[in-house]
Amino acid sequence: MSYTDAIGQVHEAIAAGTAPRIVSLVPSITELLCALGLASFLVGRTGFCIHPAEAIRTIPKVGGTKDVNIEKIRRLAPTHLIVNIDENEKPTVDTLAQFIPHVVVTHPLAPRDNLALYRLLGGIFGVANRGEALCDAFEAEYTALRAMPKGPPQTLLYCIWKDPWMTISRDTYIAQMMTEIGWQAWAPAGSDARYPRFEWSDAVAAEIDGVLLSSEPYRFTEEHVDALEKQVGKPVQLVDGEMMSWYGSRAIAGLRYLRELAAGG
């Protein structure tokens, strides 16, 4: 069978009995590959690929998601490279594609896109049954999320960085996660950036019901929460950035986390 990735490239399933050599440049995909039982085929990962810790401990690091060590990857002789449109630089991926036979591009934009992601990678690497098991687990959590009572709609400013302050656009995965519980992401008017910068002002504070400070990529803490509440005069909450932004197998736990947030947990 064949499978189509996020940019329309068609990938054939690996032949039965073959051992792929996979480099993942996406932390959440590395975790997903392990959940699919493919950890033994991973030959390279980024330094940000930290889950599951024990399974990836001995897998060589090949740099970050954007500052990739191309020559180190070449020496690993991968058959497959897994990348993401938001997280990896296209010129880097184009260079790697010159010597890696199969480059699989991912780009989940909403929680339910994970179903196609499980089937894409499960199908390519011959573990479709494990992909379907993840789909079943996702659907169970999604059904539970949809069944819970909805609170009043809110507009919340989700912060991912400080100095400069940065937020998310409404077409990002994080923003779509928020909409599942009736939260709309605030974004600066007129900006077409996916992760726009902004400046705090009375006008911004007037447009929002509260602020969410993510634990990643900037490591916001409760100290930031306290300081910003005094500055903005609106409720500020620290949220788990991995649960809100990591697609793949982590998204299943992410749906449970959304239920906790919606319930005020």
pLDDT digits (tens, 9 = 90+) for 5-57: 999 999 999 999 999 999 999 999 999 999 999 999 999 999 999 999 999 99
- Please tell me the class of the 2-143 domain: alpha beta
What is the reported pTM? 0.96
Tell me where in the chain the CATH 3.40.50.1980 domain(s) lie. Answer: 2-143, 154-262
What is d(CA 88, CA 256) in angstroms, rounded to the nearest whole number?
28
Structure confidence at residue 196 (pLDDT): 97
Q: Would you give the end-to-end CA distance of the chain in angstroms? A: 44
Q: 3.40.190.10, 3.40.50.410, 2.30.29.30, 3.40.50.1980: which CATH number matches 154-262?
A: 3.40.50.1980
Name the one residue in this structure whose structure tokens are 């934009």.
Answer: 109
Type of residue numbered 48? F
Q: What is the pLDDT of residues 127-169, one digit of tens each?
A: 999 999 999 999 999 999 999 998 899 999 999 999 999 999 9
Q: 24 phi and psi, to 5 degrees? A: -110, 125
Structure confidence at residue 264 (pLDDT): 85
